[in-house]
Amino acid sequence: MHKADFNDIDKSMILQVARKMKSNSCPLAAIVGYVDKEGKPVVAYSYDVNGDVKTYKCTGEKKVPSLTNIYGTAAEWFEEEISELMDVEFEGLVNKGRLFLPEEFDGSGQIIVSPLSELTGKK
Amino acid sequence: MGYTIPIGPYHSSLEEPVYAKLYTEGELIKDAEVHIGYNHRGVEKLTTQKNFIQTIALVERVCGICSHSHAFAYCLGIESITGMEVPKRGQYIRVITAELERLHSHFLWLGLAAHLIGFESVFMYAFNAREKVMDALEALSGNRVNYGMNIIGGARRDIDSGQKEKLLSMLDELHDANKTLKNIFVNDKTVAMRTKGVGIISREDAMKLGIVGPHMRASGIEYDVRANDPYSSYEDFDFKVIVHPDGDVFSRVVVRVLENDESIKIIKQALEKLPEGKINLGVKMPRVPEGEFVSRIEAPRGQLVYHIVTDGGPTNYRVSIHVPTFRNAASIPHMLKGSYVADAGLIVACIDPCFSCLDR
Within a domain: B10: no
- Tell whether B230 lies on the interface with A, counting CB pairs under 8 A: yes
- Tell whether A26 lies on the interface with B, counting CB pairs under 8 A: no
Within a domain: B155: yes
How high is the pLDDT of residue B258?
A: 93
Contact A98 B49 (CB under 8 A): no
Whether A123 has a pLDDT exceeding 60, the answer reads no
Contact B330 A37 (CB under 8 A): no
Within a domain: B40: no
Helix (H) or strand (E) holding B154: strand B154-155
Contact B210 A101 (CB under 8 A): no
Which range among A17-26, B14-23, B148-157, B179-188 shows the weakest confidence by mean pLDDT? B14-23
Q: How far is CA A78 from CA B286, B323, B329, in A?
A: 33, 11, 12
Within a domain: A91: yes
**CATH label of the domain that carries residue B321:** 1.10.645.10
Number of domains in chain B: 1
Number of H helices, E strands in chain B: 15, 8
Contact B296 A53 (CB under 8 A): yes
Q: Which residue of A has its CA nearest to B77?
A: A4
Chain-wide mean pLDDT for chain B? 89
- Tell whether A27 lies on the interface with B, counting CB pairs under 8 A: yes
Stretch B315-326: mean pLDDT: 92
Number of domains in chain A: 1
Work out the burial of residue B192: count CB atoms within 10 Å of its CB; fewer than 13 is exposed, 13-18 middle, 19 or more buried.
middle
Within a domain: B192: yes
Q: Which residue of B has its CA nearest to A84?
A: B37
Within a domain: B16: no
Task: Name the range with the highest mean pLDDT among B27-41, B305-319, B323-337.
Answer: B305-319
- Tell whether A32 lies on the interface with B, counting CB pairs under 8 A: yes
Interface-testing mutation among B23, B35, B224, with chain A (most A C-beta atoms within 10 A): B35
- Written as one letter, the residue type at B198 is V
> How many residues comprise chain B?
360
Within a domain: A13: yes
DSSP notation for B231-259:
-TTGGGS-------SS-SHHHHHHHHHHH
DSSP notation for B177-205:
HHHHHHHHHHH-HHHHHHHTTSS---HHH
Dmax of chain B from CA atoms? 69
Provide the domain limits for residue B159: 45-359
Contact B307 A116 (CB under 8 A): no
How high is the pLDDT of residue A101?
A: 64
Rounded to a whole number, what is the distance in angstroms from the first to the last CA of chain A? 43
Give the pLDDT band (50/70/90) at residue B337. Answer: confident
Contact A30 B320 (CB under 8 A): yes
How high is the pLDDT of residue A94?
A: 83
Whether A111 has a pLDDT exceeding 60, the answer reads no
CA angle B63–B316–B228, rounded 5-degree value:
60
DSSP bridge pairs for B155: B150
The dihedral sign for the CA sequence B255, B17, A45, B105: negative
Residue B296: phi and psi, rounded to 5, are: -145, 145
Within a domain: A120: no
Within a domain: B197: yes
Provide the domain limits for residue A47: 6-101
**CATH label of the domain that carries residue A88:** 3.30.460.80
Contact B320 A29 (CB under 8 A): no
